Structure 1
Amino acid sequence: MTRALDILELFLDGDGTLSAPEITRKLGLPRTTVHELVTTLAARSYLVQVPDQPGRYRLGVRPYQLGSRYAEQLDLAAEGQQVARSVAETCDETVHVAILEGADVIYIAKVDSTHAVRMVSAAGRRLPAHCTSVGKMLLASLSEEDLAARIPEDRPLAAMTDNSISSPQELRRHLAAIRERGVAVEQRESNPDVSCVAAPVRDSVGKVVAALSISVPMIRWSEERQEELAELAAKGAGELSARLGHRRRGA
């Protein structure tokens, strides 16, 4: 069983096709063993021969069927809650997972800090996307057409604090910087006493479907802490992405 799984996992790299000799060389298995395993996997539709390339194989329909069933059973909120709990245990700050709906974000998972001074929020809460780090991260993932439909350039944005971005043009400059860096930062834009960092959560095809953020009261905020938490948010978002089936290139 283990050897069969080792063979299947080889097809996740490169161009997704392999020959029996290549499998033998990569895994260091006897040639007869590889032949027997490949024959069995092909008979069960886990592998299929590549058309016009005799002796080469690619993944068959069976792994796709299993992956599809796994995806159907995934619950983003439940998975997000588990990852948020792990991240919160590491940094002891409030962690959120949010999705985009229209021009707002909706928090679908939340784990509180144990500090007496912490951000007050709740799962299910809705906020303007442009005022939050999760929202800006999600807006930055949109196409220009989709962004324009949600955030028109000729309409001022509502402010939640004195630090909120109210200009669509300024927001777009921020979003460009977020795309460049890969994480979003919000400093007292939705709450005058709190700053946040956020990173993108991707699904199995690489689409950004959510964002994970860490929120910190200003009494514990600093540039050094921001960098630490940005790295942790990216790590947590990466773990949640992996649970959703995302596989980083080169991984």
Structure 2
Amino acid sequence: MKLNRTTLRTIDILKLVSKKPDGITLDEICEKLDLPKTSGYDIVTTLVQTGMIHVARGQKQRYTIGLTAYRIGINYTNNLDFISTIDPVLKAFSREVGKTVFFGIRSDDAIVYICKFEPENPIITTATVGTKNPIYCTSLGKAILAYSDEEETGQLMERITFKKHTERTIVTREELEKELERVRDKGYAFDARELEEHMECVGSPVFGQDGNVMGAISVSSLYKPTEDYDALGCLVRTKAAEISKLLGFLGKC
């Protein structure tokens, strides 16, 4: 799929400006993003007119994030109000299993970690709230993919660029499709040391009121050969079903 270059440049400018609370000049924007000044000026001027960025006029105009962009962000946050409902459940679940618990959502071909809860003596995990990981080698990603719309999943798989992170990483579409069949059969997914050599994760989908998969929860810990990961998967599946019901899902998980 061909992406629009101007749109991509606009997004890059917004990201850059959002990281500069004291403002940034047009020259600095063009230099950091390697943009022709005429293109940068046209985009920035449009963003100012729409309220996406704000201009402080002085000897040199400096740009900061605008009110419209802020309102969009607030609307996104408001749409995540369900987080306050699932937070205490996930926190208690982390204490119950003695492992790190995540809630994540899909962002194109990646997973974004929205919540993270750790037990009293946590094993350090590299994933933090707001970070992304590939959808095809995370238990969160597989759990979401397995229960997403079939056509949408097929289109997504065409865009995935498989990369080998460990010797166990799935690196072909065919392997991933077989894996998703196993996920549907069990109701939970594994990241069997596919992203990090020492970490094993188990994830299960969370459904919203409309019956669509809205995200997934996972449990992560250091890999132990003696651990019964299928038993852990059943626990995660049960907890995901409980959360789905809290969010208004009336179907069978």
TM range (shorter): 0.5 to 0.7
Deviation at 1:121, TM superposition (A): 2.2
Deviation at 1:173, TM superposition (A): 0.6
TM superposition score normalised by structure 2? 0.64
Q: Which of 125, 150, 156 pairs up with 1:150? A: 156
Structure 1 pair 166–74 and aligned structure 2 pair: CA distance change class (3 A): closer
Check if 1:104 corresponds to 2:149.
no
Q: Which residue of 1 aligns with 2:99?
A: 93
Q: Secondary structure at the match of 1:192?
A: coil
Deviation at 1:172, TM superposition (A): 0.6
Number of residue pairs the alignment of both structures matches: 176
For the 8 Å contact 2:189–2:203, the answer to whether it is kept is: yes
Check if 1:227 corresponds to 2:212.
no
For the 8 Å contact 1:199–1:233, the answer to whether it is kept is: yes
Cα separation, 2, equivalents of 1:126 and 1:78: 22
Cα separation, 1, equivalents of 2:79 and 2:151: 32
Cα separation, 1, equivalents of 2:83 and 2:110: 17
CA RMSD of the aligned region, Å? 2.2
Q: Which residue of 2 aligns with 1:51?
A: none
Deviation at 1:93, TM superposition (A): 0.1
Structure 1 pair 135–116 and aligned structure 2 pair: CA distance change class (3 A): closer
Q: Secondary structure at the match of 1:100?
A: strand
**Based on CA coordinates, which of the two structures has the bigger radius of gyration?**
1
Q: Which residue of 2 aligns with 1:208?
A: 213
TM superposition score normalised by structure 1? 0.64
Cα separation, 2, equivalents of 1:190 and 1:100: 17
Q: Which residue of 2 aligns with 1:240?
A: 243
For the 8 Å contact 1:137–1:184, the answer to whether it is kept is: yes
Matched residue type, 2:149: S
For the 8 Å contact 2:99–2:123, the answer to whether it is kept is: no
Cα separation, 1, equivalents of 2:164 and 2:152: 22
Matched residue type, 2:130: G
Cα separation, 2, equivalents of 1:188 and 1:162: 9
Structure 1 pair 107–73 and aligned structure 2 pair: CA distance change class (3 A): closer
Identity %: 27
Check if 1:140 corresponds to 2:146.
yes
For the 8 Å contact 2:95–2:120, the answer to whether it is kept is: no
Cα separation, 1, equivalents of 2:129 and 2:180: 25
Q: Which of 165, 178, 186 pairs up with 1:181? A: 186
For the 8 Å contact 1:162–1:189, the answer to whether it is kept is: yes
For the 8 Å contact 2:104–2:140, the answer to whether it is kept is: yes
Q: Secondary structure at the match of 1:247?
A: coil
Q: Which of 198, 209, 223 pairs up with 2:203? A: 198
Deviation at 1:223, TM superposition (A): 5.0
Q: Secondary structure at the match of 1:108?
A: strand
Q: For structure 2, which runs of at least 5 residues remain unmatched after alignment? A: 1-77
Cα separation, 2, equivalents of 1:74 and 1:103: 20
